[in-house]
Amino acid sequence: ALGFYTRVRLNDTPYIYYLSDYPDLDSSKLILKCIDDMLVPKFNNYIFYVHKLGHYDIVFIYNILLKTNIDKGYEYYIIKTTMRDNKIIKLDIKIKKISNTIGNKYNFIKISLVDSYNLLNYSLDKLTNEFNIETKKGNFPHRFVNKNTLNYIGNKPDISFFDNITLKEYINIPDIDWNLKSQCLKYLTKDLKGLFEVMNEFSRLIYIHFNIQMVDYLTIT
């Protein structure tokens, strides 16, 4: 699953995408749909924070954008990377759009993906607690997920499939009609909103105490 969250949407819901909604479980289509939905005029020049971007997500995103450019035969996605210690900590993605069909004038739409882990070097679960954020991560059985269980509905998975869950938390999960897709998207929604709220609060504190704009920097140093 993949998604992004801003406060632009009136109903305050994230944009979310799930693998089984795409033919042949093609993850490249899922990623491109998400990126294309971000590369629109209302998000032009937006910074999207991705926790541990350089440690995980960037591998999938970057490779698929490069492959798409090769398949198209030209640089449709204009990509610029910012590196630190052999890891990508910022990825700028830009596309060219025709702004005026008379004379074929172009403008650009650009977004930036920034690794929030270099600003806040803790797990998202710890950050939501430390910053006293309303949205908490929740629990999800990552090891239960494979291509055969993407649309599983049935008894809840055994506690051994969950990480860092207490017996009380596990007991409170309904025993029957447990739906992996809905639980995954619920978990993802909490992640997206939780990180959004953490970055907002961190940005506010940094500005109040140091008169610094968080968006002007890529690392805590």
- pLDDT tens digits for 149-206? 999 999 999 999 999 899 999 999 999 999 999 999 999 999 999 999 999 999 999 9
Taking the whole predicted model, whether its pTM rises above 0.75 is answered as: yes
Query: What whole-number distance in Å separates Cα of residue 99 and Cα of residue 107?
Result: 6
- Cα–Cα–Cα angle for 213, 77, 190, nearest 5°? 55
Query: Does residue 104 surpass a pLDDT of 70?
Result: no
Beta strands at 46-50 and 105-115: parallel, antiparallel or unpaired: parallel
| Cβ 168 vs Cβ 176: under 8 Å | no
pLDDT value for 102: 59
pLDDT value for 115: 96
Burial class (CB in 10 A: 0-12, 13-18, 19+), 42: exposed
Query: Does residue 10 surpass a pLDDT of 70?
Result: no
Helix boundaries (H) for 123-210: 124-130, 167-171, 180-210
| Cβ 62 vs Cβ 76: under 8 Å | no
Query: Does residue 216 surpass a pLDDT of 70?
Result: yes
% of the chain beyond a pLDDT of 90: 83
